A and B are shown apart, each in its own frame.
Chain A
Amino acid sequence: MELFGLYHYWTFAVLLMIGFYAVIAKSNLVKKLIGLYIFQSAVFLLYITMDKVDGGTAPIIQDGVTGQVFSNPIPQVLILTAIVVGISTTALGLAIVIRIKEAYGTIEEHEVREMDHRVA
């Protein structure tokens, strides 16, 4: 049981690093953005993991029911808005990638860099 209590955090660490690996090791810019997406999802998982209370339920108060235990609503509020902001920033990143494709004809980072060197 003790082991299960930390499994969510381990998943968070592994997912965060998988996403980070894609950001630093992959050359394709869309792949980098997908890596960033995995990275931020891992952070969301960390926050939501912290909101759980044993025997708790979603923080929606029902009339006439007493003695309910509720999970912590604050991480939920933070992550709810963060998800929508996350998609907005991903869209902005995609727009930049599209412009890079139009300017360089490629979305591979090493090819873009080579072209820059050739000009310089």
Chain B
Amino acid sequence: MVNLFAMFLLTLLIITAVAIVRTKDLFVAVMLTGIFSLLMSANFFILDAADVALTEAAIGAGITTVLLLGALALTAERERPVSAPRWLPLVVVAITAVVMIYATFDKPRLGDPLAPVHQHVAPWYLEMTPVLIGIPNVVTAILGSFRGYDTLGELIVIFTACIGVLFLLGVPRGEGHQPPGNGAAPPDVALSHHLIPRVVGRLIFPFIVLFGLYVQFHGEFGPGGGFQGGAIIAAGIVLYTLLEGENSSFSAVPRWTLVAMAAGGAILYGAVGIAGMVMGGNFLNYSVLSNDPVLGQQMGILIIEAGVGITVCGALLTIFHVINAREHC
């Protein structure tokens, strides 16, 4: 039954992807991208990847759609037709798809416990996590501790992308600046004149942030962690900005705070690593943070997850605001 449902979802994914590529209306394409992400998230959940499903739902279906819409408002709503039909790309992708499908016949079938990928280091992680780290969620244990270097690297990539967007689109002019001719009415009243989004949005906004904090700090015990928590809180603040306008959003969370958050989270992460070195261990070895190595690991993971959440939230919101502020220039 679950298998049939999974096949149904996968088929829907393909149909959605074809529709995204075929449509000439970019707005429709972006909306379908949101649906695509949600379907992908459901697939991840069926495949036992609860953490990944949560991330995809928060980021793919939430933030990506908002960023793409922000970009559409600045560029074009429709795709221009191309005169000549392009057969060559179609032939190339068809042949490649056939070759790849042929290659899949050598793959281990889905769920095979003897597949090579399950033989290497994964059993060790599953066995040693309760002993060395003492937290239930193995994904968080690997993310935060066993492979802490990777996660620090990813965090710096996110921070770099944020800096890149700032360089490309520039820091928007100061809060006091208003485009001429608008008089008293600020240009960014956003959705506040729509009754239903305003009432429902204001009602659910605190719960979104609360849920984000729960996901952030419950990540050691259940699906969640810094990446998901940061993204959910960012999505909540994006909703608030859409409802109340840029200015009231900036009075709640000033612009410099967001950039400071994007940098500060990564610095916090690195600081935990250096604290470990100062206390006589290796970089990002949390065991030395406390007399009890297991407690030290848990403390380390809690702090670096907070760092991850702060950076993700700050970077995503900075990118959102920079793209959004461009519209009013």
Contact = CB atoms under 8 A, between A and B. Distances in A.
A52 B47 contact: yes
Contacts of A14: 14, 17, 97, 101
Given A5-B111, A98-B74, A101-B75, A92 B20 contact: no
Contacts, number: 288
A80 B231 contact: no
A74 B121 contact: yes
A90 B64 contact: yes
A78 to B, nearest CB: 8
Chain B contact-residue range equals 35 or more
Among B68, B82, B111, B150, max chain A CB count under 10 A is at B111
A88 to B, nearest CB: 3
A70 B33 CA distance: 31
The prevalent SS among residues of B at the interface is helix
Interface in B235-275: none
Contact of A98 (B26, B118, B137, B169): B169
Given A37-B64, A74-B125, A83-B56, A4 B7 contact: yes
B44 interface: yes
B71 interface: yes
The prevalent SS among residues of A at the interface is helix
A15 B100 CA distance: 11
Given A21-B89, A26-B79, A71 B48 contact: yes
B93 A96 contact: no
Contacts of A77: 139, 142-143, 147, 150
A74 B79 contact: no
B177 to A, nearest CB: 19
Contacts of B70: 94
Interface in B192-225: 221-223, 225
Chain A contact-residue range equals 35 or more
B158 interface: yes
B220 to A, nearest CB: 10
Contacts of B86: 25
A60 B151 contact: no
A71 B10 contact: no
A52 B43 CA distance: 12
Given A61-B130, A98-B74, A26 B109 contact: no
Interface string A74-118: 111101111111011111101111110100001110110000000
Contact of B59 (A17, A29, A38, A83): A83
Interface string A52-76: 1111111111110000011111111
Interface string B30-61: 10010011001001100111111001100110
Given A48-B47, A97-B71, A88 B162 contact: yes
8 contacts: A13-B100, A25-B86, A27-B79, A52-B110, A60-B221, A84-B154, A95-B319, A98-B75
User: 7 tightest CB-CB pairs across the interface, nearest first?
Assistant: A5-B109, A88-B161, A25-B89, A71-B48, A54-B111, A13-B100, A9-B104
Given A87-B64, A88-B158, 12 more contacts: A8-B47, A14-B17, A38-B17, A53-B118, A58-B48, A73-B125, A80-B55, A81-B143, A81-B150, A83-B60, A89-B161, A95-B165
